[in-house]
Structure 1
């Protein structure tokens, strides 16, 4: 029987995946010494008690040397560390994720550690064909994604490392989108950004969206952080080698829209991608076109190997895991560590009641206009009530802009945009949908501006 590890080092232990791994280790290895490595060690949280923390910046040129005290005497390294922000700083992300992994490997060799469990990603796989794929699927990734390219470089690095050092046991787990309630702030900062108001997530949580536009053919898998942690610990305990897919069941467009109680409306994927590109350039949303490609072009994953060789099965369905994340987003939950948003305060930024009403009705205006794009004609009673409520709730902000004598582009564009949206709504059809969406984007940009002003 394999001896149990006495000292376990977890890089990136303070992040989303790290939380799941630490919980799994606490359950299955209660006597082991746990060493956490991250750039900003957490100072609070029951989860992190008993973990011996070392502050190491893996993007630093001295990272390998800085890791030496943490790795001294360890039996295994679980390498989870991943820099995602800033999403557009490719040079920094390369230093942190690619060169940082090389530093971990160098430090392992110097410390004589002979086991590594590495957190890879769904993002290494080439485009899918509509059916779940195994670990043998081509690892060509999504060329437009910095994240995907870097994950491929690291896996190639690990291939070479295993050839040169066959006595080191290397396992790689490839999870899909990892979620949990406490990761709401972290995931919001990566995929959404501050411009999208919290009320949008409250609409999702309350299942109040009538329709949800989605790229045609979209299917997604989620996986809860606790299930990922369980898989990582099983790899460690069984000294497994090779790659393992980690995911829950797949949700099609109907299942995704059902999370919000909505009806899915298919949109051409290339149009959605253009919108994502434009919104990212305008800094309205954080998600990049590359991240969009990873989400929409990557294949579904077959987890038969993990089930057969590790006896692993997800305890959370994709729908249940996604609902927990939506609950966290709706309630402004912030995780207990800096990596999970604790420096942002106890909760995400709150808005006044009238602003919440304005944001809610604006979102509904856009969605109803999209749903009625194929039907010209004046708005019905419900649609008209939504427009009226939005105009009334937006009046205080409009008057405030006048009092402040604002002459910035947003302030100047708001009155004609509102007027055009109202007039277009009287005619209905596609033009009404287009103008309503434009007004919605303007509202998101205004909310982002307000967030920046408050944070100064």
Structure 2
């Protein structure tokens, strides 16, 4: 058997390749992705073809990759850059149509397609089966494109009834080596690993979460197992793939914390503001997919495929968290290996912190002199300063420092925030104090670097 796996270098692809190696060891595996991996044991038996499904040349380049194939497992999914909707449409919607046309030309009569929880409409009170409306989340580019791809598949199945088509709809797929990918998609470079380390250690006793939140996770290896079962059984139709449900209490318990319910609308407003300022990578659309999508009933997959997850949602989430705290990455470009999207270095973050603090102080002086309120610029400077200063603050907590900077900095920040609301020379004094502490921290860092 010759199996073509698009998106084989990605998160789900890693689980599928491991499952193929274990359950179909004699299969010839052809991998299709933009940047074929150069290392990694699971990639060694794969014959790679470099194809960007968003490219005008995709159709021509797919021909050799699909030649002689018995089945196509279509996992390819572009999620970055999250704000380039045109590219994402070409990669995920047009790319799916191009692949189906290439399959037809190659005479391939078997497809397993990676759909998503994100296609389901909100509003369910109970876990939904595969028959729940699949109109998706209109605020999410990802969801809209997944729905469009499903409609393309509907037409394809009607026009090609002889082709076996299976669709699996997974929830959030996680594993240790997906840490870089998920961190970059949901958190971004300004959210420090130190914060995740505090979560992993159980040092944060309370965890704010949207009220009513319920999430399912599923490990990449369990997804891979489901995919191979669909392939070997030549299953048709759609299958929900997920582990158990975690409510807010259970989610907080994963890190030994107590959940504090927050109004979902308020949290969305905060996330929208932080996303607009590029403090976090999470967009409002992704937030809506996470919070508004229903939980899934997996009875059909268990009954027809004999499938069941080997890991609980809590175990999978904890594995991911540990990987994120340790900066884990996979051995493909899609999973962070020598990524072109470099993380911010501590020096870069420090420069952003110091520059925003200088701007904060300057605007405080202007406001005290009566030049103008400068409310919006000052608020932006404060937000950037707090976001860039948080990694350093968390590092001081993890190091259990008791020097003057570690002790005085939190008090100075509170004083600066309080006085900034009122304005006046007290605000200038407080931000100047922060500047003195920042200078002391720079001197300390230089001393450590010289020893």
* Coarse TM-score class (shorter-chain normalised): 0.7 to 0.9
1:282-324 CA-partner distances (Å, limit 9, x unpaired): 0000010000000000000000000000000000100000000
- The alpha carbon displacement at 1:359 in A equals 2.9
Matched, 1:112 2:146: no
For residue 415 of structure 2, what is the aligned residue in structure 1? 419
- The alpha carbon displacement at 1:418 in A equals 4.5
For residue 53 of structure 1, what is the aligned residue in structure 2? 48
Flag structure 2 segments of 5+ consecutive residues without an equivalent: 351-388, 421-433, 439-451
For residue 87 of structure 1, what is the aligned residue in structure 2? 82
Q: Find the aligned partners of 1:418 and 1:301 in 2 and give their Cα distance.
A: 44
Retained in 1: the 8 A contact 2:223–2:241? yes
Q: Find the aligned partners of 1:390 and 1:163 in 2 and give their Cα distance.
A: 70
List, as ranges, runs of 4+ consecutive aligned residues in structure 1 with deviation greater than 6 Å.
347-350, 354-357, 361-364
Q: Normalising to structure 1: TM-score of the pair? A: 0.79
Specify whether residues 155 and 357 from structure 1 end up closer, same or farther in structure 2 by C-alpha distance, changes over 3 A only: closer
- The alpha carbon displacement at 1:362 in A equals 8.7
- Out of 137, 161, 164, the position equivalent to 1:166 is 161
1:344-363 CA-partner distances (Å, limit 9, x unpaired): 49x977759x9898432799
Matched, 1:359 2:393: yes
Q: Find the aligned partners of 1:139 and 1:112 in 2 and give their Cα distance.
A: 29
- The alpha carbon displacement at 1:129 in A equals 2.5
Specify whether residues 176 and 392 from structure 1 end up closer, same or farther in structure 2 by C-alpha distance, changes over 3 A only: same
Secondary structure of the residue aligned to 2:48 is strand
Specify whether residues 71 and 417 from structure 1 end up closer, same or farther in structure 2 by C-alpha distance, changes over 3 A only: same
Specify whether residues 240 and 394 from structure 1 end up closer, same or farther in structure 2 by C-alpha distance, changes over 3 A only: farther
Specify whether residues 83 and 329 from structure 1 end up closer, same or farther in structure 2 by C-alpha distance, changes over 3 A only: same
- Out of 368, 384, 405, the position equivalent to 1:392 is 405
Retained in 2: the 8 A contact 1:358–1:394? no
1:108-163 CA-partner distances (Å, limit 9, x unpaired): 00100000000000000000323110000001110000000000000000000000
Q: Find the aligned partners of 1:274 and 1:223 in 2 and give their Cα distance.
A: 28
Matched, 1:252 2:216: no
Map 1:196-211 onto structure 2 (within 5 A).
196-211=191-206
For residue 178 of structure 1, what is the aligned residue in structure 2? 173
Q: Find the aligned partners of 2:391 and 2:76 in 1 and give their Cα distance.
A: 40
Q: Normalising to structure 2: TM-score of the pair? A: 0.80
Specify whether residues 391 and 66 from structure 1 end up closer, same or farther in structure 2 by C-alpha distance, changes over 3 A only: farther
Specify whether residues 394 and 92 from structure 1 end up closer, same or farther in structure 2 by C-alpha distance, changes over 3 A only: farther
For residue 368 of structure 1, what is the aligned residue in structure 2? none
Retained in 1: the 8 A contact 2:189–2:343? no
Secondary structure of the residue aligned to 1:220 is strand
Specify whether residues 357 and 160 from structure 1 end up closer, same or farther in structure 2 by C-alpha distance, changes over 3 A only: closer
1:37-90 CA-partner distances (Å, limit 9, x unpaired): 000000011110010000001001121111000100000000000000000100
1:167-193 CA-partner distances (Å, limit 9, x unpaired): 000000000000000000011111111
- The alpha carbon displacement at 1:207 in A equals 1.2
Aligned residue pair count: 381
For residue 324 of structure 1, what is the aligned residue in structure 2? 319
Retained in 2: the 8 A contact 1:128–1:300? no
For residue 33 of structure 2, what is the aligned residue in structure 1? 38
- Out of 174, 187, 191, the position equivalent to 2:186 is 191
Retained in 1: the 8 A contact 2:192–2:391? no
